[in-house]
């Protein structure tokens, strides 16, 4: 297992549409293990393969609170098959460190995917899990949280990222 570098905006690779995973191979299993270690070290509650420069349709999510046991879920070739309602949730993103904004998402989604054992899964997700699934699934299509913001909020978020990059260079 290894902690991988997380791509940060404006890295152009974050805009690429990921390709489907053919099969759950030993290589994919190693990637999942690296993603777990990377996400927990960041720390974050979700991580998509494209965020570490791997253009595969794969993401992981763990929305358990710090004092709760892990609730890690692996989504391979996920598909959101239905969306219901609307919710506004304050989101952050490991590719946008320091940026937190209210984003409107579906309140409930039904997601279909393959798990880390190669088994098909389908379930409803709402609350933080539902938001995280939608956020990470967007990464697989090259869609970023700033794409869900209005013009003013997007400009403010991008300015914050530029300031952070400038101060990191000093």
Averaged pLDDT in 10-residue chunks for the chain of 170 residues: 93 97 97 98 97 98 93 97 97 93 96 97 97 98 94 86 71
Q: Let me know if residue 26 belongs to a domain.
A: yes
Buried b (16+ CB within 10 A) or exposed e, 4-18: bebbbbeeeebeeeb
Residue 3 maps to a domain: no
CATH of the domain at 59: 3.90.45.10
CA atoms within 13 A on the CB side of 40: 14
Q: CA separation (Å) from 103 to 11, 13, 68, 97? A: 22, 22, 26, 16
Question: Which structural domain, as residue segments, surrounds residue 107?
Answer: 12-169
The two three-digit tokens of residue 69, written as one number = 């046991």
Q: Judge whether 104 counts as a catalytic residue.
A: no
In the set 91, 101, 116, 136, the catalytic residue is 136
pLDDT at 98: 86
Give the predicted TM-score (pTM) of the model. 0.93
DSSP run (H or E) holding 46: strand 46-48
């Amino acid at each position: 297992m290894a902690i991988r570098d997380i791509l940060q905006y404006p890295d152009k690779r974050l805009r690429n549409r990921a390709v489907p995973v053919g099969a759950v191979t030993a290589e994919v299993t190693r990637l999942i293990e690296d993603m777990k270690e990377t996400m927990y070290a960041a720390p974050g509650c979700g991580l998509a393969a494209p965020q570490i420069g791997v253009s595969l349709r794969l993401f992981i999510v763990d929305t358990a609170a710090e004092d709760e046991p892990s609730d890690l879920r692996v989504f391979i070739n996920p598909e959101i098959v239905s969306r219901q309602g609307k919710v506004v949730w304050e989101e952050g993103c490991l590719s946008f460190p320091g940026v937190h904004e209210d984003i409107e998402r579906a309140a409930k989604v039904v997601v279909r995917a393959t798990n880390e054992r190669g088994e098909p899964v389908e379930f409803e997700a709402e609350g933080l899990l539902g938001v995280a699934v939608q956020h990470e699934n967007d990464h697989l299509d090259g869609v970023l949280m700033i794409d869900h913001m209005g013009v003013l909020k997007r400009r403010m978020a991008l300015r914050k990222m530029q300031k952070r990059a400038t101060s990191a260079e000093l």
